[in-house]
Amino acid sequence: MLMKKDTLPTFKRLIIVSYRLPFRFVKTHDHTVIIPNSGGLVSAILSLSERLQLPGLSEGKMPIHWIGRGEEIPPGKMTGPEGESPFTLHPVSIPANLNEKYYSGFCNNTLWPLFHYFPWLTNFREDQWEAYVQANKRFADILDHIIQPGDFIWIHDYQLFLLPGMVRKRFPKAIISFFLHIPFPSFEIFRLMPRKWRESIINGVLGADTIGFHTHAYARYFLLSVRNTLKLPYKGKSDIIVDGRWVSFNSFPIGIDYEKFHGDCTSSHVLKEKQKIQKSIGNKKLIFSIDRLDYTKGLLHRLHAYETFLENNRDWHEKVVFNMILIPSRDSIAQYQSMKKEIEATVGRINGKFSNLGWRPLIYQYRSLHHAELVALYDMSDVGLITPLRDGMNLVAKEYIACQVQNQGVLILSEMAGAADELSEAIIINPYDQHETAQAIQDALEMPDGIKQERIRMMQKKVRKNDVIQWAKAIFNYTLKTSLNYENIGSENLSKD
């Protein structure tokens, strides 16, 4: 008996699976403090756990279980800044020697550079591929003991490409959704992987009912890779048939907790941080950027563009400051250590070239910021310089837009970031073109207030509407509809290459 297409089933529990758990644990004398890990996924799901009314939930909170690599859960009471953990945590044990080949190896030396269009930095090692397979199996083994009828299984990101297929084999009727947080590359890049690997990755992802991407382009590239790799039948632009069932995929651009960022701009903690910034910069215009230390972020390209701006605009000397913040990341790896040294040398050279006793054009910080510092910096900055060479989405751009309350700024955004598809009112640049980026800095600093305000208003409307709650709801609804598709597949108008 078929159910109506607009009828959605309910689910009883949300099972989130990601490479790492959302918290780390710090033991005190009488209890354990939980500290959130950094990253867009953790902050997004924390917001969801606080605000989202999930399907089928009549009262109380939806049980959320989180599976990820992490240390053993300490016994006894656990508290954090927001109280007790909103999740039931299930750690996956991955020994250090396996994790070195799996995460540091295949994930970060094969998938990460290849999917971000840096094939010359990509390693293709069979032992690291085998470690990737073994690590995905460890996640599947933990899920074996957790999955119950009525669960919604939400698997995240490139570290777990094989997991949906593994779960599907063990639980054929499970409701499974997979979301990729990084770009999916064109087939000409994807096909550089050995055939066995790319076939296994595609088959693994197709174990899900639905597959989510940040942009239509990533979804289109995925379809082309499926068609060229496996020759599976498909319908339209978003449906594939696998073992007699539908698999659907679409773009679901991730959002932020707009109300939190926007509202925090006037909190007492943020106001204190704003006063510090104002005292530091005086009447100078403030440009900012904040990124993890990573070659995909275009950090040296950005510095060279700022140097070009200073060379071409002597009248802006002593009137502008660029605050460049790098969040420590993988700094134990030789390649990243070398990149950090080159960045610091470039910062020193630019400051030595242009600064005087009363003005330093570049302020460089290598540290993490707490939330109040970050929100204050967003709101006080006249220009947000967000110029990655390739980025799945880039939530910093959306956070910056949400925090334009006291000071209406201008967003300069790389066309290589997924966020550029939504935030078209930003000044969109090619990050490889330092002259275009330098001109964009000048245009942003000299943009009339009325134009700035209108652009910010239009972008804030988009970011508010498409927040993290709407992102999750869209994925839940899309997946539940797909899992209910009991139509006769044989009667469909199918294509097969």
Per-residue pLDDT tens for 134-145?
Answer: 999 999 999 999
Distance CA 428, CA 419 (A): 10
Res 52: pLDDT: 56
- Tell the burial category of 132 from Cβ atoms under 10 Å away from its Cβ (0-12, 13-18, 19+): buried
Which of these is catalytic: 181, 214, 262, 301?
Answer: 181
Is 70 exceeded by the pLDDT of residue 74? no
Give the residue ranges of DSSP H helices in 110-181.
112-115, 126-144, 163-170
Is 90 exceeded by the pLDDT of residue 26? no
Distance CA 152, CA 155 (A): 10
pLDDT in tens, 457-486: 999 999 999 999 899 989 998 998 877 664
Closest by Cα among 133, 131, 154 to 143: 154
- Reduce the DSSP state of residue 404 to 3 states and report it: coil
Res 201: pLDDT: 98
Res 40: pLDDT: 64
Distance CA 323, CA 343 (A): 14
Catalytic-residue membership of 90 = no
- Tell the burial category of 329 from Cβ atoms under 10 Å away from its Cβ (0-12, 13-18, 19+): middle
Res 219: pLDDT: 95
Res 486: pLDDT: 41
Instruction: Look at 4-13, 300-309, 364-373 and tell me which has the smallest mean pLDDT.
Output: 4-13
Place of tokens 């899992």: 483
Q: What is the rounded average pLDDT of the residues 320-347?
A: 90
H/E element, 336:
helix 334-354
Reported as a pLDDT band with limits 50, 70 and 90, residue 39 is: low
Reported as a pLDDT band with limits 50, 70 and 90, residue 497 is: very low
Domains in the chain, start-ordered, CATH in brackets?
13-254+470-491 (3.40.50.2000), 258-465 (3.40.50.2000)
Res 487: pLDDT: 43
Beta strands 383-386; 410-414: pairing state = parallel
Nearby residues of 65 by Cβ (< 8 Å), 6 or more positions away = 13, 14, 15, 16, 87, 88, 89, 90, 146
Which of these is catalytic: 151, 209, 239, 391?
Answer: 391
Q: What is the rounded average pLDDT of the residues 423-432?
A: 98
Closest by Cα among 186, 214, 223 to 417: 214
Distance CA 452, CA 441 (A): 14
Backbone angles phi, psi at 12, to 5 degrees: -90, -35
Q: How many CA atoms lie within 13 A of 403 on its CB side?
A: 29
Distance CA 160, CA 321 (A): 41
Q: What is the rounded average pLDDT of the residues 275-303?
A: 96
Catalytic-residue membership of 391 = yes
pLDDT in tens, 236-283: 677 888 888 889 999 999 999 999 999 999 999 999 999 999 999 999
- Rounded to the nearest integer, the mean pLDDT of the chain is 88
Q: What is the rounded average pLDDT of the residues 336-349?
A: 95
